[in-house]
Structure 1
Amino acid sequence: MYNTRDIKLKDIIIEVICLLHAILFVYAATSKLMDFQQFKEQLGQSDMVLGNENWVAWLVPVLELVLGIFLLMRPYRLFALYGSLALMTLFSAYIIVVLNFSNHIPCSCGGIISTMGWETHLVFNACWMALTLTGIALMENKGK
């Protein structure tokens, strides 16, 4: 049997995880959109995105904004956490591929995040992915 104190603590942890993710995604999307031309140009310098920078430049911040909003809405949180995990996994895979296979390493991140080195960015992403997995696990186990 669950203790109501344990349930409340899980709810608080889920709230904090979702709020932190929402802040991260809204901040990242806003910084990309505020300097949209530079973001698009940097994407265009990547061998992986070449020729697709126009739609990718719109897709990434829109996805970040949608996830940020959904993370604040209880009925969509679990979906948004899975989406967050998928997006952070894609970002990390992109970094790994660019570091290992690209001749030119453009930084298409925005704001403070753009000041990180690539290895630091991978650690940053890994920490956020662990936080996301924690939120998913808590939400999945909450109903059991």
Structure 2
Amino acid sequence: MQRSKKIWFWLPYAISILCAILFIYAATSKLWDFQQFKVELGQSPVLTAYAEWVAWSVPLTEYALSVLLLIDTTRQKALFGFLGLMTMFTTYIVIVLNFSDYVPCSCGGVLENMGWTEHLVFNLFFVALAIIAILQLESRSVNKSNLS
């Protein structure tokens, strides 16, 4: 029984580390080949007008959230930020797959080698992890407030 409590206690931290690694990797791969990333965003039927702005803001936001995910006092808010960004990325994939003739891939590294279905499942997996971590942290704070 004690082992189960320890796992649930550390789970949000472990998930936060995984999410931070994902965003650090994704942001670095975007900046590594920044021109290609910007060109692909410019070819997107949804983001063409905002390609320059999005090209800079996405990796910088990913880096910022990665740092915030690793700090105890900002972890919960950062998980909400991670969840929001991953939900937007996932929604973008669904929109482009269903309503566009051209499907640009502005992903880098290993993610670039995934098909769109695999990428969608991958994103949904991380969305689910973020929700689990958020719920665990919120139940912990509710329990603390009930004890006070």
State the TM-score, normalizing by the size of structure 1: 0.94
Aligned to 1:55: 53
1:75 aligns with 2:73: yes
Aligned partners of 2:3, 2:117: CA distance in 1, in Å?
39
Match for residue 31 of structure 1 among 5, 29, 32? 29
Q: CA deviation at 1:8?
A: 3.3
Match for residue 87 of structure 1 among 79, 85, 88? 85
Matches within 5 A, 1:2-13: 7-13=5-11
Q: CA deviation at 1:122?
A: 0.6
Per-residue CA distance 1:3-28 (angstroms, 9 max, x = gap): 87655332311111010000000010
State the TM-score, normalizing by the size of structure 2: 0.91
CA gap of 1:43–1:105, structure 2 versus 1, over 3 A, is same
Q: SS where residue 51 of structure 1 aligns?
A: helix
Q: CA deviation at 1:65?
A: 0.5
Greater share of helix residues, 1 or 2? 2
Aligned partners of 1:62, 1:10: CA distance in 2, in Å?
31
Does the 8 Å CA contact 1:84/1:132 hold for their aligned counterparts? yes
| Counterpart residue identity of residue 38, structure 1 | Q
* Gapped regions of structure 2 (runs ≥ 5): 144-148
CA RMSD of aligned residues (A): 1.3
* Gapped regions of structure 1 (runs ≥ 5): none
Deviation above 4 Å: which 4+ runs of structure 1? 3-7
Percent of residue pairs identical: 49
Aligned partners of 2:56, 2:5: CA distance in 1, in Å?
39
Aligned to 2:136: 138
Q: SS where residue 92 of structure 2 aligns?
A: helix
